[in-house]
Each structure stands twice: as structure tokens, then as C-alpha cells.
Amino acid sequence: MKTLLLLTSTMLYAQAPGDWVHWQGNVQGHRHSPLKQINKTNVTRLKPAWVFQIDKTDKFEASPIALNGILFVSEPPSDVTALESRSGKVLWRYKRVLPDNVPFCCGKVNRGVAILGDLVFVGTLDAHLVALDASTGNVVWDVAVADYKKGYSSTVAPLIVKDKVIIGSAGGEFGVGGYLAAYDAKSGKQAWRLNTLPAAGDKAAETWKGDSYKYGSATTWVTGSYDPSLNLIYWGTGNPGPDWKGDKRAGDNLYSDSILAIDGDTGKMKWYFQFTPHDVHDWDATQVPVLVDEMWNGKMRKLVLFANRNAFYYVLDRETGEYLLGKQYVRQTWAQPELDAKGRPVRLPSTTPTPNGTVVYPNSAGATNFQAPSYSPLTRLHYVMTRDEGGVFYSGDDTYKEGSWYLAGRFVSKPGEEATGAIKAIDPKTGKSKWEYPMSSPSWSGVLTTAGGLVFAATADGDMIALDDTTGKLLWRFPMGGKAFANPVSYTAADGKQHITIACGHALFAFTVE
């Protein structure tokens, strides 16, 4: 079994077409499958192959890794299950025993695992990183990455970079200090740690009033991307704390709501770009950075695409961090429709939260959120599950207390309106949509594209859908009967058949063409 599973880091960057070895499929963050057995012609014959039910009722946000006929999927709160990928039969289960009263913000969730060699890696709600034997599920090593009592937790799927496992943290509602940490995959020894908040005396500390940077959050709870040629990791950071009142943290609040470019060997930050300086609406920049090479003004450039929660779409040069394009892609009322020459938003007056409530679009759930986007190298379009919903933002008053809420306000959806959404096929060259597929209510599902010319996603109400990647036309659907908070994946099972899988409700569904 072990030799069957063994996967080297070299193989990781040139995966077999039938496997899905990273959370986003590849390290470039594409969530695109090169498989085309299921295509525009036969997708109408797509049927459920199996359904695997988990034994919890917490939100099931994970998307699996598929390797050599086995799916490795995390379950809430921090468990891992290995399934045979043709039949959905359980091979082993790892059940994490969690301490009582772990602080968590938004559900006891986990978004997935990583794999390298014969080890499967999972971050846990009590902020540990655990390496499991891929053949048995036995614990090989288990390290505390941070102190959960302070509000740290790991819900993010780790990212493999060479021989290291990269793990981030949630906890942005508890005034923690965000970090990204790298561990040696074999030994579990920490290789480096990058804090996303400045230390006393750092230049960036001047972007926070007083010592507010100490509780400034900027967490790292959605998996980033990696460019092997530049040896740079790209990772988005979350909101500054407290979420909805900025008076006590006047300034830009670096490095919150930013994308960081980080050396894969040393953990040193090479550049950063902050999308939302001094955020007071909880618009974490924790979306997946999508790495593509594209002609830009007549020159081939290495780009990073970023569809942000703040309703702007960004294109940056990923070698230098240079701002190339910014475009509003979802309704917003907080900034001028045009960013300034450096990509900085021009904030409109009367848009900050107040004790009596301020109406702003989008609300804190944002224009998009943790749902993963997809990039198809065939259409060269960036597919994003978007939300359109206003909010009423209230400011309150909070004092930092270790391990407790640090919010200073709240938001509610704007009354009298119904939220909607859409899958948008965005052309990175313009930031404009080639097509949009409307959602009657906004979905938390991510998007998958395949070389079969298909776009897969789930609606808010749990209909799995397949769209034509060039027109957005609906080609197939299946009602799964639950709420979807996860991202689709495609793989080839032992019978040689392409499968599409997604978690919905409290089950993992796998589809194939008979």
C-alpha cells in the first residue's frame, strides 16, 4: 500500500491527470481538471455513483484529495476519512479528540487535507497540525501550531511546498495575531513562521494606532498558492481586529486584507499588496490567489488574479506585486467605482459602521468569500461564485480580552431585499464577465472547471449543476438536497472513470457517466 501511495514533491507539481493532489488541484490555485471523459455531449448522462454520509451535523466544507484510487477528506470538526474512490467505502478514519470549549467563530469546520509522501496532513480546531499515515490513518506526528485558548484554530487545508507543509490560522474574531507557518513534512519540525502583524518597532506597526497591532488578527484561513519557478507562496490575509470599529486602530492596518508573497524556503515576505486598507466591514482577503501567465500589454507576464471579498477584481504582477488592473465586479457602495493609480480604493463618506447602522454593499459576507474559484487554461477565464447582498453595519465597543470575541459591532443583511448571486466567468484582461449564471440566492459552493468544457458548482439549495464553460448555459443538474459549503473536485477512479465529487449537506456525493 505504501508504495502505491508514495508521492514525491516533484510529482506534486506534475500530477497525473486522474489525481487531485492539492486542495485546489494544482499549486497555482486553478481548481481545473484536465480530465475530459465527462464533456458537453455526455454530461446529460451524469448520475450519482455513490453517496458517503458523515456522522456529524456541522457544516461539511471540505473538498478531498484524490490519489491512486483513494479520496482523503476531512470531516468536521477535525477528522479525516479515507474512502475508496470508485465505491465510496471507508478505508480508515481518524477522529480528533478536541478539548472542551475551543473558541471558534463560524462553525466547527475543516476545509481539507494535504498529502506528501505517505503522509496526510490536517489542521485542527485546537490549532494543531497532524500528520497521519496515509495507509492506516495512524498519527505519525502532532504539533501545536498555536494556542487555541487564545482563539487560534486551523480550518484551512494545508499547502505543500517542496518538503514543507504550510499551515495558516483562523481566529480573526478573537484578536489573535495571524501567522503562516511551515513544517518539515517528515519530522514535524517548524521550518519558519511568518507573522502577518508587525512587531514593535517595525515600520508597518506605524499603520496601527498605539499598540492595536498586537490584537490585529490578519489571519490566514484559506489555502494560498505557490509558484515553483519563483519559489514564492501567495497567501491572502483576513480582516483587522476588531472587525467593525476602526477608531482604536486608526491607520492602514498592515498586513490585514492583503496578499503576501513569501519565499518558500525562508518564510520571508518578498512583497505585499493591501486590497482594503483600514477595513471596517470584515472583508478578509482570504480568497484563493490564481496564478497564470498571460500576455499583458504585449508582454508575457506572470500574474496573480484575485477576486476579492471587497467587490473589486485585481490583477497583479506576481514577481513584483505591481498593480496592473482593478475592476469592480459586484455591486458595491463603499468606494469610488475606480481604484486609484496604485490600486487603492477611494472610500466614500458615511460608509463606516455606526451605532445606529450604516447600509453598505456588499455586506460582511462579501462579493465572494471562502468558496474557491476556478481558472480554465482552455477558456482563459476566471470563474467566481459571487454574492450580491447589502448589509446594515453597526459599530459597538469591545475591549480585547484573551480568548474572547473582539468584534466591536455586527452586521445584518439589509432588510427588504433578497440576496442573489451568480457564477461569473471573468476575463482577467478586463475584469469584465464574459457570461454570468444567476443564482436565486447566493451560494457558498466553489467552482470547478474541466477539460471537458464544463463548469461545476452547487447552488445555495444544493443543486449540483454543470454549465458550458464558454456560454454559461445549464447542461445538467442534480438536486442533492442540502446546503453546499464546499468545492467540487474531479478524479479518475479505479474503474478508469472520471468522477465529479462535492460535499453537500452532510454527505459527499460522487457522480459519473455510466
Partner 1 sequence: MRYTILSLWFAVATFAQIKAPSDEASLRNGHTLYQFHCSFCHGKGDDGMAANLVSPNLVHAPTDSSLVNIIRNGIGGTDMPPALGMTDEEMLQVAGYVRSLGRTAQTSIPGDKAKGRALYNGKGGCAGCHMVGGSGGRMGPDLSQIGAMRSPSNLRTSIVEPNAAIVGGWTMAHLTLKSASKVSGIRLNEDNFYISLRDGKGKIQTIAKADATKIDRDITKSSMPSYEKVFTPEEMTDLIAYLFSLRGAM
The residues carrying an active-site annotation are 282
* Closer Cβ to partner 1, 57 or 350, answer by number: 57
Restricting to residues 402-431, which ones interact with partner 1 according to CB under 8 A?
A: 403-405, 407, 410, 412-413, 415-418
User: Residue 371 to residues 29, 221, 385: CA-CA distances in angstroms?
Assistant: 12, 12, 7
The H or E element that residue 378 is part of is none
Among 439, 466, 502, 504, indicate the residue that binds partner 1 (CB under 8 A).
439
**Minimal distance in Å, beta carbon 149 to partner 1?**
10
Among 35, 98, 335, 460, indicate the residue that binds partner 1 (CB under 8 A).
460
Report the distance separating Cα 487 and Cα 170, nearest Å.
19
Stretch that binds partner 1, among 81-89, 253-261, 327-335, 400-408 (CB under 8 A): 400-408
Q: Pairing between strand 463-468 and 474-479?
A: antiparallel
Stretch that binds partner 1, among 38-46, 80-88, 307-315, 439-447 (CB under 8 A): 439-447
Bond preceding residue 48 cis, omega within 30 of 0: no
**Minimal distance in Å, beta carbon 409 to partner 1?**
9
DSSP state of 507: E
* Closer Cβ to partner 1, 118 or 282, answer by number: 282
Among 401, 432, 473, 494, indicate the residue that binds partner 1 (CB under 8 A).
401
Helix, strand, or coil here: 274?
Answer: strand
Q: Pairing between strand 381-388 and 420-427?
A: antiparallel
Upper half-sphere CA count for residue 469 (Cβ side, 13 Å)? 28
Q: Under a CB-based contact definition with an 8 Å cutoff, are residues 439 and 460 in contact?
A: yes
Report the distance separating Cα 273 and Cα 192, nearest Å.
21
| Dihedral of alpha carbons 286, 107, 488, 179, sign | positive
* Closer Cβ to partner 1, 258 or 371, answer by number: 371
List the x/- string, 57-96, binding to partner 1 by CB under 8 A: xxx-------------------------------------
Q: Under a CB-based contact definition with an 8 Å cutoff, are residues 20 and 34 in contact?
A: no
Bond preceding residue 313 cis, omega within 30 of 0: no
**Minimal distance in Å, beta carbon 393 to partner 1?**
12
Among 287, 459, 487, 490, indicate the residue that binds partner 1 (CB under 8 A).
459
Query: Which residues, listed in sequence order, are joined to residue 254 by a DSSP beta bridge?
Result: none
* Closer Cβ to partner 1, 210 or 438, answer by number: 438
Report the distance separating Cα 122 and Cα 96, nearest Å.
10
Among 8, 53, 333, 441, indicate the residue that binds partner 1 (CB under 8 A).
441
Stretch that binds partner 1, among 3-11, 193-201, 320-328, 453-461 (CB under 8 A): 453-461
Report the distance separating Cα 23 and Cα 224, nearest Å.
10
Restricting to residues 101-160, which ones interact with partner 1 according to CB under 8 A?
A: 101, 103-108
**Minimal distance in Å, beta carbon 46 to partner 1?**
16
Q: How many residues bind partner 1 (CB under 8 A)?
A: 37
Q: Which residues bind partner 1 (CB under 8 A)?
A: 56-59, 100-101, 103-108, 173, 396, 398, 401, 403-405, 407, 410, 412-413, 415-418, 438-441, 459-461, 463, 465, 477
